[in-house]
Structure 1
């Protein structure tokens, strides 16, 4: 039996909380315009970056997503064919392409992703910047330490 306020109590509470969070996120209704696109979690991260941080190069997106540029290129190609993303020439370096959400898809993507951003903003705003950083760092440490049993 753990003592109240122990790490075991916090772990138990988080283990119960995480499936509820994931379940709620999965129940967010996908706007009609996006339903036929067969979007997966990997698309969600890419679209979130473009929605919140604006147009970026494949290299910038790969760096931010911690994946290979070829992985981002495949995702961008897939979403470009579907009309979700657009590629344009970089004005500063015509060899590079800038990736952005298409004008037609932006409202639907914003509608889909905004509830999650608003919920995080609501949860984080009462915290100091240092507390916010600690929270994010804790989630990153959890991600880094989580390795499912391969056996």
Structure 2
């Protein structure tokens, strides 16, 4: 018996890509005024939320590959958006922290980012919004037991 592929209108990978583009369009519009990439914004958001982090933890929480994070952090440090220091106990470990300029960007755009998130919540309704986040978390490899 031959397995048939689902219609592309009911394909999970394609649906996720389409949904991502729908979610990211207004965020990209907001970011165009900041001079930040999506990845740089995620780095700042994670650091603003969690405080100083080692590179591996930051890459994981910002959903970035480690080699990409290395390049992104270098560019952000040159713009004084973050600082990098060596861990005092393990000199191989790098600690990354949001700098004042990075926090200022987060603060300046927090209301707009919250409005964007609020528009998705309003479109889906509170219950569907929370359920969608829960369902997506079930597909996150980091959430698997």
TM-score, scaled relative to structure 1: 0.58
Higher-helix-fraction structure: 2
Among 112, 115, 120, the residue aligned to 1:115: 112
RMSD: 3.9
Tell me if the contact between 2:44 and 2:98 (Cα under 8 Å) persists in the aligned partners. Answer: yes
Aligned residues: 125
Three-state SS of the structure 2 residue aligned to 1:86 is strand
TM-score, scaled relative to structure 2: 0.60
Pair 1:23–1:66, CA change in 2 (3 A)? closer
Counterpart in 2 of 1:3? none
Counterpart in 2 of 1:24? 26
Tell me if the contact between 2:76 and 2:82 (Cα under 8 Å) persists in the aligned partners. Answer: yes
Q: Give 5+ residue unaligned stretches, structure 1.
A: 1-7, 9-15, 145-151
Counterpart in 2 of 1:136? 133
Deviations 1:58-110 (A, max 9, x none): 0101222343322211111111112111112334x241221111113311232
Q: Give 5+ residue unaligned stretches, structure 2.
A: 1-8, 10-17
Tell me if the contact between 1:50 and 1:56 (Cα under 8 Å) persists in the aligned partners. Answer: yes
Report deviation, 1:113.
4.0
